[in-house]
Structures are given as structure tokens and as C-alpha cells.
Amino acid sequence: MIYDIKDKSDGRNAIFEFLCNRKFKSVVDVGGGLNIWASPYVTHCIDINQPKKYECKFLKADISTQRDWDNIRSIVAFTGKFDFSICTHVLEDIANPSLVLQMLPQISHMGFVSFPSKHAEICRGIECGTPEDQAAWGIGGGKYRGYFHHRWILTILDYKLRLFPKLNFIEYINGLEWATRENKDAHFHELSFWWKDDIPFEIFNDDFMGPDGGTYMKAWRTEIIKGY
Amino acid sequence: MITKAENKILLRDECLSFIKSKRYKRVLDVGGALYPWARDVVSHYLDINDPKEVCGPEFHCSQFLSSTFIEGDICRQETWDRMQKFDPFDFVICSQTLEDIRDPTVALRNLSKIAKQGFITVPVKYRELSFVEIRSVEIQNEWQLKSPYRGYFHHRWIFTIDDGKLYLFPKLNFVEHIQGLENVLDQSDNGCQELAFFWEDSIPFEIVNDDFLGPNPPSVFGYYRDLLEKGL
């Protein structure tokens, strides 16, 4: 289940406090090899990139492939599940986050997941916001939405994680004006949650891009506004 | 390896002729159940959509003759593990499917494990980067769009073939803004239809830059520009 959803405050402070108090034996960071931000408490890292600045046990794996997860699961079958997992700012980057979401509860008892809020991912100009940047980066036609390399927009509705593919048509659909950098109610940094036992999630429209463009886009626009 | 690739002529007829000439009995179509153009030669369909449910039993009977339908999500490894328990297939077809799915690499890695040879088609990059889908202001207004977008709304990947290897580019929203893609589009009127290829033993492929969209935006935009110009 998903609990303790945070869309404003920095959820990471709570992680430090929690991990400090609980003194877990095994804490794994999934996909954070380039920046083990909870390094004092992280004992293992699962990633394709080996952490350089911090000594923890490195389990090399491409988290987008089932075979590599099978290897991790065989280790876990021998050692037992990790006490806690951290997966921050990873899901939005990869082609198949549903695999990671299925695997996390199979390798750890509970965990913390974070990603950019939908406000950050849909507003324009959070990256490449100035005409000078756009000229230097070879970008024309105005500011694009969110972060250029993110493939998914994630929301939470009724304690279920929802994944929306971030496709190119979103540059032009109407009805997303609520996501602006000027909106004082928008929360630009991240959305985070804790989970225990399992992570309920769905890909919008069961990942079916139909039945036609108009219907799909209308539903996409209507559904993404819901929840966090 | 990729044995023959084309983007200017349709290779589908050649594919059908080849299968017929070899008298292959076990031919699998992956992802093509709703548009079964190769039904004359296909013995099995693997798809997430059961055409019987989507189109009704009449469509199923007339279109699929005696072929076998196997339900499965081709983005999931377990589907392919299940397929390997079947007797090997003589030939496998995967047509206009890879561009639609969230993770085509699972299929590309596994197709050669269930057959020694096959045929794949995807949209040509020229169509995927031009404004092909929103053909009128009426549709644009009906779909509540401010402007037309590149390619087909539901496609998640752009493909090229260069030097005997299939390259996959994530089709993300920034492609609407990259300057310099005009060089790719300059070739769009050369009669390109679909990118199609035959393969044997394995399918060499790579997600651009090893699927790392970095190290920074300008370099990514730069290699999209440069690499999309190359190859078919």
C-alpha cells in the first residue's frame, strides 16, 4: 500500500530521520548510482552505474530488463528481502517503469519513491527557460514542457500510482494551462510516497493508446488533472 | 543480422512470397492480430488484443482461418519465456508494432530466440517527424490542439537503420522543438513508405546513446539531429 504522500515538503528529511531511528541492516537504493543521497544509511545499490563517491555493495543491473531483476531476486531469495528501498527520480527516466514497480516489493519490505510532480513535468520553461538557452541548445518554437529526458508523468489518485506517457502531442493540447511556473499553488520539486508490502499502480488507459487520438487525448487531459 | 532493408518500396509482398516459396508451416505474427495482412501464411498470432473480443467472432472466423491466437504482452519477458516453450517457428513477422509499445527492446531481444529469421516493419522516420496526422483545422479543433504535432500521436519511438543496425530514438516531447530536423524532412518526399527489413539469427539494435539521454540537453538534441539524418 501507498501512504504518507507528500507534494510539498522535502520527503527526504523524513527518510533520514526514519533510517537513523530504525537502524536497518539492509537498505537498497534502486537506480540512484549517480547520487546516493541517503548514503550514510544505504548498504546496497542496484544500478547500471556504479556509485563513485560512496562505498556500498554494488549490484550491477539494468533495471529495465527482467533478466537482471531475476538475478537480483535470486540473491534476495538467499539473503532475504531488504529492509527498505529508495527509488528516487528514476521511474520517469526509463522506458518501462512498471517493471521496477513490480520488482520493488519483491526485493524489499517497504520503501520510499519520489519523482517530479506533474506540475513540474507539464509546465513550460522549467528547463531551457530563456531565449539565450533556447538559442544555445538549438531549440525553436518556444519552451517545452518539463524535463526533456523524462518519459512519464506520474500522479497519485486514491492511493494508487498512475503513469501517463509523456508523448510529443502534449506540447500542443489545450487544457493544461493550470501547470505554470507562476502558479503559487504548484509544487515544483517532487511528489513522494512511502509504501509497504506492495505498490498499487496503473498505466493510464492500460497503456492502450486508443481507440483514437481525440478520445485518448481528451481522457489524458481529464485524468492527469486528478489527484496529486 | 539484418539481411535486407528498404524504406522506399513495400517489402510485404516479398515477405509473403518468400514464406510461400519455403512452404513454411509455422509462422508467427507478433502484434498484428488487428491488421492481419499476412494471414495467408500466418499460423499463430501473439498479441495483447484478442481479435475475437475486439472485433467479434465473425471477423475472427473470416480473417484468421485456422490460425492460433496466443494472448500476451510483448513488453513482458514472461510472455517470451512462455513462447520459448512452443516448438520453434519457421519465421516471425512483427509489423508496425514496435513503435507503439513502451519497451520494444524486450521483443527485439526475444524474437530471435523463437525463430531463426523474420521480417519487421516500422514507420519511416520521415513520416514520424513530419506533420502527417492532423490533416485539417477541423480535426485539430476537435482534438483540442493548438497546433499539429510530429508523426503519429501514439508512437513512442522513431527508428532508423544504419550500417546494418536498427537504432531506436525515444519520441519525446522535445522533438517538437529541435531545430535542424528539416534536414531529415528534406528527404521526406522521396517516396518513402515504411522501414522494413529481413533478419536472420539475431537483430542488431541499439537505443540511441545506450538509452542514456544525456549528458546534457544540447548534446542530446545534437545527436538526435545528427543521427536521424543518417541511414534509412
Give all domains of chain A, ordered by start, each with its CATH number.
2-224 (3.40.50)
Closest approach of B172 to chain A, Cα-based (Å): 5
- Partners of residue A146 in chain B, C-beta under 8 Å: 173
Could you report the predicted ipTM of this complex, rounded to two decimals?
0.90
Q: Which residues contact B3 (CB under 8 A, 6 or more apart)?
A: B197, B198, B199, B200
Tell me, what amino acid is at B95?
Answer: S
**Residue A43 pLDDT > 90:** yes
With an 8 Å Cβ cutoff, is A71 touching chain B?
A: no
**Residue A9 pLDDT > 80:** no
- Positive/negative CA dihedral, B166, B169, B171, B175: negative
What are the C-alpha distances in Å from B89 to residues A174, B13, B23?
A: 47, 20, 13
With an 8 Å Cβ cutoff, is A89 touching chain B?
A: no
**Residue B6 pLDDT > 80:** yes
Give residues 108 to 127 of A whose Cβ lies within 8 Å of B: 127
In this structure, the strands spanning A27-30 and A84-88 are: parallel
Closest approach of B106 to chain A, Cα-based (Å): 8
End-to-end CA distance of chain B: 16
Give the number of beta-carbon pairs within 8 Å between A and B: 132
Angle between helix A97-107 and helix A66-79 axes, rounded to 10 deg: 10
Q: Summarize pLDDT for A57-87 with one digit per residue, the tens.
A: 999 999 999 999 999 999 999 999 999 999 9
Q: Summarize pLDDT for A49-58 with one digit per residue, the tens.
A: 888 777 789 9
With an 8 Å Cβ cutoff, is B35 touching chain A?
A: no
Nearest to B153 among A64, A167, A175 (CB): A167
